Each structure stands twice: as C-alpha cells, then as structure tokens.
Chains A and B, each alone.
Chain A
Amino acid sequence: MSYAQRETPILAELCELLVEDVYGELAARVFSVLARHGRQTLSALNKASYLNSRQIKHGLVVLIQQHLVFHSAAVEPEPASYEIDWQQSYALIRYGRCLKQVEERYGAQAANVMSNLITLGHTRVKDLREAYFPTRPRDGDESDDEGINSSKKSAANGSLFVNGHAETNGVAPAKVNGVKRSHPDEEEEEAHPEEEKVIGSVAELDSVIYNLMLQGWIMKVEWNQYLGPTDLHAMAGSEAMGAQPPEGTKAKQLLELGILSRKREIRNEWTTVPKPRTRKRTAADGDISRSNKRQRIGGSDWAPRGDEVIVLDDNLAIRVNPEKVTVALRTDTLVRIVRQLIGSVPAKVYETMLRQIETHTSRCYDEWADPTPVDPSVESNQEIESGELVSAREVAKNIDPNIDLFEGLDPHAIILLTSSYSSSTSSEVDAKGVIDPPINPFTLDLEAKTRIVDRHIQRLADHPFHFATWHSRAGYSQWHIRWQDLIPSLIQHEIETTVSAGNASYQKFGVKLLRALKKKGKLDERSMGIVLMMPANEIRSVVNGLTVRGFVQTQEIPRVERREAKHSLHLIWFDTQRAREKLLQETYKGMVRALQRLQFEREKVKVLLEKAERSDVVGQEERWLGKGELEALRLWKGVERKLLLQVMRMDEVVGVLRDFCGPLVTP
C-alpha cells in the first residue's frame, strides 16, 4: 500500500472534521461512510448509510470535484468503487497556507487565481475565466475559514478596474525586455510596489495561470488522477507487463522496476505544461511580460516573445498541485527551524536559497523512486542536477537588500571579508570590539556581499544538521542540500522538542537519553549509565515514562535457555520511524481536539455570531451590537485565531513528520 495512503481512525476523524468545515454536512456524511467502510461501490454506499441515493450522489460530486475521493470508473466497467484520497483530504488544512505561499512568491494576482481554483476544485480554464470576467456579484460563499476569504473578495472587486490598469503599465515591456535578469525572487522584490491585486484581462489571467503551471503549482487534471493507489498500480502493472506474466525472480524484479517507471511517467505527464497558443498583444492586454520573463527561467524551452500573449486552451482542466504545496511548506518549516536554531539572518539567506531550488523541485521525495543501490559509492557519485545547486553569489543578488547581513558575525571577520571593498578606509576593530570606521551593510558591492553571504551559508553547513552541503567553487561557492540526511535530523529534532516539553526530568534527561540511544543503538541499563554519565537508577524513571509514551522501546533477550529475568539482557532502544509514527498520530489527535474545541467555542457564542453575521450588521458592528456583545465578539475572534494558528502550526509538525521523506529504515 502507498505510504501516503495509510489511514488511521484519528486521521479519518480529522479529515471528517475538515470536510464538514469546508464542504458542509452532506459531503461530510458521505465522507464518513467511506471512511468507515473503506472502498465501496455506489450501491454499497447506499446500503451503509441512511442517506438516500440522491443525497449520496450530491455529496460524492462535491468530493470528486475536490479530488477527495478516488474512483475506479475509468478502469472498471462494472459499478465503480469509491475510495477516500487521504492525502488530499488532509491537504484541506493547507489551503490557507497555500494561498499565503503563492502570494509571497508570485504576488497577489497569483494568490487570487489560486484561491478561486481552490474554491472551485478542479476547473476548466473556461470556467475560471467565466468566474472572473462576467462580473457577477459573488455571494461571499464563506466556505473556508482558513483565511482565504480576504483575497477572494479582492478578486471580485478587482475585475472592475480593467481599463485603468492596462494604461498605467503600457510603457513597461521595453524596459523589462532590455534588462535580462534571471532571478524570480529579485523580481519579486522589485515588482512588488507596483503590483496590484487585480487581474486586468483574460490574457493576464491566462498568463498568471500559465506561469503558475510552469512553476508547478497548477497541474492538469487527468482521468488517471482519480485512480486509487491500487488501481493505479494494477494499471501500471498491466501496461508494464506485456503479454505474459513474468517467470522467475529476476523477471519479477524487472517488472517491479517497470511499474515504478510507468507510474513516474504517468505522474510526470500530469505536470507537463501544454504548449499554449499565442496571439499578438493588443493595447488592452496590459503588461504581463513580467510573468513571461519568469517562464524562461522556469526551465521551459519555449516562451512567448514580448509582443505576444498566451492563450490557454478553453477546455484545459486544471487543479492545484498538492505536491508543490508540500515543497513550499518544507521551505517555510526549514526557515523557521533555522531561525530558531541559528539566527534570523542565516534564516533569510536560507530562505533565498530554498526558494531558488523550489522552482526546480516538484516534490519532496519520490514515492516511486527506483530502489536505492546497495552500494553506497554509487549513490555518492550521482550527479546533482544543476537546478538543485545554489551559489553564494546568486543568494547575494537575490536576498532582501534591507537585511543587516553583518548580524551574528565576528566584527573581525566582517572587516576581513569586506576589506577589498573598503580598502581606502581600512577599518579596524578597537579594544571595545567596535568597528572603526563603521561599514554600512547596505552599501556593499556584490563581491563583498557574496563573501558575507558565503559566511552565513557556512554557518548553515557547519550546524550538526548540515542544512547545506558544499558542492563546488562556482559562483564563489556553490551549495546543495542533502535532503536524505537533513530531513531525518529534522524528524529527530521534532521528536526531541516534543519530549523536552514534558516535565522537568524529561527536559533534563529525556532528550539526552533519546540522543544517546539514537547515537549508540540498543543499550542496557549499565552502558546507558556510562554513556549518560549518570547513575542507572536515576535514568530508570525517565526510561519508564518514555516507554509509556511510546517513544522508547524495551526488549528482553534471554542469555540462558531458561528465560530468567536475572539472566536476561534488558535493552532499551529507540527507533526514529516508530517514534515518528507515534508522534504523527498524536499530532493528528491534537489537531482534532483543537478543531473540536473550536466547534465548542463557536457553539458558546452561536447566538451572537448569528447576529454579527447578518448582512445588515456586517461592517456596522459598532452601530448594532451592544458593548458587551462587541467585547464577546472580540474575545471569540481572539480564541478562533489562536486555535486556528495552533492547528496550522501542528500542520507544520505533520509536514516534518509525514511529508518530507518516505519511511525511514533503521540500518
């Protein structure tokens, strides 16, 4: 079974809550039947629930539109069976985050398109255009309370300003085409002030969508995306097999490889961007060349010329690519962890590095990768694709120019690294450690900046987690990230953080114990004591506590034939994969509880909320609500924000524990 498609009662509960929250009760009822009974045909669904078949069909349509269920209609001619896509169902929680990520990276326009795409589920381009351009009043369908509404509203308003926008930017294309800079992030910085939240025209919409497709955020909808893992496996199997079933182990192994590569082919087909038609730019199209330029960077061999605009196929169905969202989540999480462990400036540097790699990363790990070769030397010789490399100079160019890059560095080093730049006025560090004359960190030339950035990257690389690994000397220094080593460290870090949050003795010894076990493998009590340099009886209670919580396992190995406790070895051990699973389930449960609490809190202020949400009250709360009511409303908003924020942060933990790498195998 697919690693991502595992389902546990607590995850089912969480997903039910999410579905109910976002798509209402009917969809949630159908979803829960599927969750309880597993893969079902329509008639079996009918039997298993109290809903009538019309209701079930309605519910299913919503779920299918949002890709929350797989169905086998394409491969089974008989009644199709339906099955929940757990990964996608969980991903409901990430919608709000996804919008924020898109906005940070590609600006408000792109976020706007994304939010519509999320609300509509998968859509044809035509329908999306419909949604934008006949400016119909949108009846604020507040289906998602993860905070995507703010940008959605701007979408509705935005389309009113079509003409004015086109004129203001009419002169821009010549300038942009003349200067060729090849870094999306930098452009982001420059473009921001003049970027507006409105989508000006159909062409602009198409161009935004096309750009997001090139970056991998939006993908095509294909029929085989609806196949559950089992169906997909069967299909890939039958395609890879040929006429006869394989004989012998060798042939079977080959078949396995064939299936894997076929699955990869199918999947890669989803994200290939169809070559769009173009037409001559007209005056009404406005400036969209900014995004055009990005397409060239996106690795595509084709990009429209400056005077052309993209026209996407009307019937092209598109959806959000969940894998890309996870990649972005990985970036954000890593940046947060670096900020906590090393400092804010290296975090900024790291963010710049990761964003650059992101463009070339379509997923965190390949679920269907060929099995790794047994010989480790083969692996180390593997070529690293150029897209995974970042040089210090590129980072220096792209990093936010408003950051004091000197922070966290030794003043002596600063002078050394910037010396060529300020050679005329060579600075020195006086007895108090003050640089004299001072160096302005915001006016460095690129060379000096590169050297400073390199120093920060070195700090990242020196950390025990090895956030970056040196690759070559290109561009002052070129770095890549060894995900296969980094992510397990992060998982370990997350587990340690959780343990350290317990009572005082866990804080003190629990983490130490885990680290010792991780480093040394299985230990008995005595060697444990020696490694920790502590009396064994002091450790015992901590070991007990951790065993009860399921982070540490104990094992008894008899040394003599009779299994006597006295003559047995009592070993303590720690398996990252086990602890990871355990913590993941606990985090799911924590999220369920937070959402349930939210429901409860909402119930308590139900009457007030109903009043506050009345259309004549919204926007004029001060006028219609009493003082006490306003206060209660404010309190509720605070509680809601706090709880939702916590859920989002738990989602980050889930990301680390579940999504960034496949199952770990203890060596």
Chain B
Amino acid sequence: MLYNKCESLPKGTVFFQRDLTKLAIAEDSNELLTILQDLVERQLMKLMTFDGEACWKLRPREEAEKLRKLTPDERLLYTFIDSAKTEGIWTKALRARTNFTAQRLNKGLKSLESKDLVQSVMSVKHPSRKMYLLAHLTPSEEIAGGPWQSEGEFDTALIEIVSRLVEQAIQKDTCVTVPPNYNPYTHTDPATTGSKRRRTSTSIPDIEDTHTLTVQQPPSSKRHKPALVLSAEPKPSTATTLLDAIVSMRVVKDKTIRESDMEQLLDMMVLENRIEKVGNAYRLVMKPKEERDEGLNGFVDAPCGTCPVFDVCGNRGEITARTCVYYGEWAGTESEVVK
C-alpha cells in the first residue's frame, strides 16, 4: 500500500507528512500516522527529523528483513552507527553512548558486520581508532583521507602515476628541447683567431693554450643528445594549472582532487627533489647530465662514506685502514689479512 506507492518514487526520497497525505492512501492523518508507525516498526521505513519536522525514508525490503531479525542490542548499535552517517563512529564513543560492556559491544558489532549492515574503517586522522559506519556508505574524507589514500593507506601506485604526469605537464609548460646543433655558427671569428695569433707569437707552449682549445669544443655528449633547457617564457605551472591538467587527463576516477590535495602532492615532490618551487610556480629539477660522473662529495666517494662498519673501525683491532677490504677494492690493492 503506502510502502509500494512510495517505492515507485525515486530512490532515497524523503517524505514529509504532507507528501504522504498527498498520496491519498490513508483516510486521515491519524490513520496515516498509524500506518507509518507500523512501517517503522517493521523497519521498512526510517524515521528522521528535518528542521524539527518529522520525515520518513524508505528502506529496501531485504535490509528491513535483516533489521527485523536483530537483537535489541544490535538494533541500538545500529541506530547509533546510522546516526553517525559517513563520518563513522568510534568504538569507544559507541561504548560511552550505549553503556555496554566491551564484550557485549564487540559481539553486537561483529554480528552486525557479518550481516553486512555496517563496515569498519581505519581513521586516517587517528590510525588507532576503528570507526564504524553503515555498509552502503562511502567513508567521508575526514576518516578516509584525500584522493591519494584508499582504505586508510596512501595509494602509492596512484601517487606515482599522477606525479609522473605532473612532471610531464610541468616539462611541457616550462621547458624546451634544444637540438644538439641548435646554433651552427662557424668558427671563423676575429676574436678567437686574434688571440690565437697572439699566443703563437709569444711561442711559449703554454698549458693555457691547450686548455682554452678544449673549452671551445664542447663535450661530445652535448653534441649528440638534444638538451632540455628552461624555456625563455615559461607558462607558470602553479597548483591550479597543474590540477586542471591532471583533471583533464581523466586519470583519477571517482575521486575529486581539490587544490589543497594538489599542493600536498607538489610539496611532496619538492621533498623528493623532483621539482622545485620558484615563487609560486613549480619547475623541474634539472641536473646537468654530463657532470653526474663527478661524484657526490669527497666523503661518500671514499670507502668510508658508505662503510657499514665505519663505527667499529679503529686504529687497531680487526677493522682498521690496513685491513679494510673496501679500501682494497677501491684502490685496487691488497689489504692486510687478519689472522
């Protein structure tokens, strides 16, 4: 009757008393209220309040079936969990509200969970808290974290993909690729030949001469590979523009990324030394390729800098500079053998 009529309406509709009267099923408001009372008791309808006014919502039949079979304890828990909506409710808070013993509470929650009525979620804010919410709800951002997290953990794969895309977007905006022979000038300029002539006239074979000659011919590696350099007029890539780029790529589905989320990701990438912040905009960290083989610093390039037994290495004893196998390997010499 009333239930069927309501069911035909779009799902999730909230009915106020005046809506229900319009359906013209009950004779008068008193009868309507009795019917509603009956439905609520059979768990087919849910009583709610909106702006101080009573209103009702339908429950699917199967769910109602399950609910009817609940013990009073479970029903009580269910109502509390339901009222917490997507925010979820902490077990401790549940206990405080219901005054149940821990045992009783756990038993109730477990059976609710096994009936697929509620779910438990780890809170992102307080990882030790177990939050309960209804099974059909998706946890709110408060407890599930932003778009980078799923089930309370950071989605490393997603983060990796998005950050790569961000890098590409920044590169597109701020960099230009320069071909190796971008400036095919000829080497017949008066300045260099002039100075060369002067040098030869002094006829002193100077180290400087050979030195300057090598400078004129840039390292061959640069001649072969196109170089990536900062563009003259870079488009500023800020959190906003990058967010637009990522959204338009449609890689992140069914999650909305806000600007603050984007900033979080970009900050993290700055920490990873992949991009750097210049003013408000971001740009790629570009290390000159040909200088990589120069090593890191004096300390870590020596065996000691990365030595696993550095702290126990002494002037005498089993591990010393004389017996060091790492030094032997590094310098290509033999070390003393410990007897």
Contacts and interface: CB of A to CB of B under 8 A. Distances in A.
Nearest to A192: B208
A532 B268 contact: yes
Contacts of A147: none
Interface string A452-467: 0000000100111000
Interface string B110-154: 000000000000000001000000000000000000001000011
Nearest to A440: B185
Interface stretch (B36-44, B82-90, B289-297): B289-297
A37 B66 CA distance: 86
Contacts of B176: 410-412, 433
B156 A511 contact: no
B333 A435 contact: no
A646 B327 CA distance: 12
B229 A408 contact: yes
Contacts of B60: none
Given A434-B184, A597-B324, A531 B304 contact: no
Nearest to A462: B278
B333 A639 contact: yes
A338 to B, nearest CB: 10
Nearest to A645: B298
A439 B313 CA distance: 58
A286 B159 CA distance: 72
A586 B302 CA distance: 12
Interface string B158-190: 010000000000000000111101111110011
Contacts of B156: 534-535
Report whether over half of chain B's contact residues are helix, strand or loop; otherwise say mixed. Answer: mixed
A401 B195 CA distance: 10
A462 B306 CA distance: 32
Contacts of B332: 635, 639
B300 to A, nearest CB: 4
Interface string A310-350: 00000000000000000000000000100111111000000
Contact of B216 (A402, A519, A536, A583): A402
Contacts of A526: 127
Nearest to B323: A600
B3 interface: no
B182 A401 contact: no
Interface in B241-270: 264-265, 267-268, 270
A649 interface: yes
B338 interface: no
A596 B322 contact: yes
Interface in A591-640: 592-594, 596-597, 600-601, 604, 635, 639
A403 interface: yes
B222 interface: yes
B218 interface: yes
Given A402-B192, A407-B222, A439 B185 contact: yes
A651 B204 CA distance: 35
A535 B154 contact: yes
Given A342-B288, A438-B186, 17 more contacts: A193-B198, A340-B294, A401-B192, A412-B232, A433-B176, A433-B182, A440-B185, A443-B189, A498-B299, A501-B306, A512-B268, A519-B271, A536-B127, A586-B299, A586-B304, A596-B322, A639-B332
Which 6 residue pairs across A and B have the least CB separation, nearest first?
A: A649-B298, A413-B232, A590-B304, A596-B321, A501-B300, A650-B298
Interface of B: 127, 148, 153-154, 156, 159, 176-179, 181-186, 189-192, 195, 198-199, 202, 204, 206, 208-209, 212, 215-216, 218, 222, 227, 229-233, 264-265, 267-268, 270-273, 276-278, 287-288, 290-291, 294-302, 304-306, 310, 313, 315, 320-322, 324, 327, 331-334, 336
